[in-house]
Structure 1
Amino acid sequence: MNQEFPIIETERLILREVATGDAHDMFKYLSDVDVVKHIGLAPFQTIKDAWDEINWYNSIIEEGTGIRWGITLKDVGKIIGSCGFLNMVTKHHRAEVGFELSKDYWGKGIASEALEAVIKFGFNHYQLERIEALIEPANLPSQKLVERQGFTREGLLRHYEYTCGKFDDLYLYSILKGDLNLI
């Protein structure tokens, strides 16, 4: 594991680097159609899909375009989801945030706790000015989650992505560093 990888600790969670040994835990939730239906991924079919996802996490760090933390409960330690930045553009001090969580842990405030910690880390450690979230219109729980964190819906990006054999419309949400004073 990379010694430089930042660990984020919250009241209930430890956000840490995802390792190849976490692939089975990731496969469990990323093979669930309900977990992946709004994030532009087909349900994982094999453990190799989880390894590919971990390789993607490593590649965005190496490229300097993002970072993805594995979400773990302090008392358990296994990966139950992930949260982090992608499409980071340091020149413009902005990044997109993404997240997913095992269905077993929905409705417990875990995604909110992880997202809040990642947002603060982005503003404080990466000197981000703007964090964006792109969310499918049908994904009401994620819309409510980012709105509770202080994000503003800026508009609809029509046919913005082509995933799983279809074009997806995405709502564009953002939060600015100065908006945190409003929370």
Structure 2
Amino acid sequence: MTYQNKNEFPILFTDRLVLREVTYLDANDIYHYLSDEKVMRYYGLAPFESLKDAEEEIDWYRKIFDHNTGIRWGITLKGNDKVIGSCGFLNFTKQHARAEIGAELAKEYWSNGIVSEAFRAILGYGFNEMSLMRIQALIEPENNASKKLAEKNGFVKEGLLRKYEYTNGKYDDLFIYSILREEFL
């Protein structure tokens, strides 16, 4: 894995992927997968209904980066600049050296190890470049794919946060998983 552009938005390279900044030019790609009910099942938002929804999502990616509260990369395959998903950190608190991790992927790319490869890259970035001590994931109990992804990447399930989040007209329980710097390194 290599890094580029240390003073600007970081671009991460893995064997198969390029993780890069998402721009308005990617709005159609974002809309494609974030309008899919299966992709959005555990996202915490209703499926997108318009290109404007995708543009607002891109605005949010830029806002969290500009305010240093998170970073969201677009996932692309090497040799193809189409954004097929995104991954990154939110709720970054420098004082406590922690952030939450998340990702989603267009369903036609599921079960190919893409999110796991992207996760390893951003975990490395979080611990090495952002000096994080703790990275956590909040996962709905029914989201077996995300639980498996977290466990495969060394996360430990810490417990259940009951009725932790209100999304799509209901309160959701969330499992909290974490990985610490020394466990990753």
Give the SS at the match of 1:54.
helix
Aligned pair 1:5/2:9, yes or no? yes
Aligned pair 1:57/2:61, yes or no? yes
State which of 144, 167, 183 in structure 2 corresponds to 1:179: 183
Give the SS at the match of 1:4.
coil
> Unmatched 5+ residue regions in structure 1?
none
State which of 155, 158, 161 in structure 2 corresponds to 1:154: 158
Aligned pair 1:32/2:33, yes or no? no
> 2: distance between equivalents of 1:77 and 1:12?
12
> 2: distance between equivalents of 1:180 and 1:95?
15
State which of 113, 127, 144 in structure 1 corresponds to 2:131: 127
TM-score by length of 2: 0.96
> 1: distance between equivalents of 2:184 and 2:64?
26
Aligned pair 1:83/2:91, yes or no? no
Offset of residue 77 of structure 1: 1.2
State which of 83, 90, 102 in structure 2 corresponds to 1:98: 102
The structure with the greater share of residues assigned to helix is: 1
Give the SS at the match of 2:88.
strand
Letter matched to residue 17 of structure 2: L
Offset of residue 31 of structure 1: 0.3
State which of 111, 114, 139 in structure 1 corresponds to 2:115: 111
Give the SS at the match of 1:114.
helix
TM-score by length of 1: 0.97
What residue number does 1:70 align with? 74
> 2: distance between equivalents of 1:15 and 1:93?
22
Offset of residue 63 of structure 1: 1.2
Moved over 2 A (4+): none
User: RMSD across aligned C-alpha pairs, in angstroms?
Assistant: 1.0
- The CA deviation string for residues 95-132 of structure 1, in whole angstroms up to 9 with x for no partner, is 00010000010000000000110001000000000000
Offset of residue 39 of structure 1: 1.4
Aligned residues: percent identity?
A: 58
Offset of residue 178 of structure 1: 0.4
